[in-house]
Amino acid sequence: MYQMYEFIGNHWSLVAAFLVVLGLFIFTEQKKKGQSINTAELSRLVNNEEAIVVDLRDSGEYRKGHIVDSINIPNTKLAERFGELESHKDKPVILVCPMGQLSGAAGGILQKEGFTKVSRLSGGIGTWRGENLPLVK
């Protein structure tokens, strides 16, 4: 225990930097909106609860391969095109992006517009591909 205190005393700037990074991580995670789900939960929601999958990638990436029946609304255009999802407000909406990083902010936009069942695919389409799940072109 004494060695830990000695380390902290001798390397206080390193400890301070760690705490800043930890604080930023916590702040960023709190800003993400929507429950993070895995691929099995996505499939269950689509099959049993008529969930809508919204692919946030640009249209070129979407055309290279996407989840069956997903709707392509690029992340940069979500705020102006959320009206296309208006009729699905009562259904679960699952957001999919390249690696799971953009969907949190997109979830915040949808929640501000009254969507209450917003989820995001953990790891994005990369996880879907990594598990060799089907994509359509």
Asked whether residue 77 falls in the same domain as residue 56, the answer is yes
Asked whether residue 9 falls in the same domain as residue 39, the answer is no
Asked whether residue 64 falls in the same domain as residue 96, the answer is yes
CB 74 within 8 A of CB 59: yes
Asked whether residue 93 falls in the same domain as residue 40, the answer is yes
pLDDT reading at 112 higher than 80: yes
pLDDT reading at 65 higher than 90: yes
CB 66 within 8 A of CB 60: no
Per-residue pLDDT, 91: 93
Mean pLDDT of 80-86: 89
Q: Which domain holds residue 70?
A: 33-130
Of the two residues 98 and 109, the one the predictor is more confident about is 98
Q: Is residue 137 part of a domain?
A: no
Asked whether residue 27 falls in the same domain as residue 53, the answer is no
Hey, CA dihedral for 80, 81, 86, 88, is it positive or negative? negative
Q: Is residue 117 part of a domain?
A: yes
Per-residue pLDDT, 10: 77
SS3 per residue for the chain: CHHHHHHHHHCHHHHHHHHHHHHHHHHHHHHCCCEEECHHHHHHHHHHHCCEEEECCCHHHHHHCECCCCEECCHHHHHHHHHHHHHHCCCCEEEECCCCCCHHHHHHHHHHCCCCCEEEECCHHHHHHHCCCCCEC
pLDDT confidence band for 55 (50 / 70 / 90): very high
Of the two residues 87 and 12, the one the predictor is more confident about is 87
Asked whether residue 19 falls in the same domain as residue 7, the answer is yes
Q: Is residue 135 part of a domain?
A: no
The number of folded domains in the chain is: 2
**CATH number of the structural domain spanning residue 120:** 3.40.250.10
Q: Is residue 18 part of a domain?
A: yes
Asked whether residue 25 falls in the same domain as residue 51, the answer is no
Q: Is residue 73 part of a domain?
A: yes
Mean pLDDT of 33-55: 92
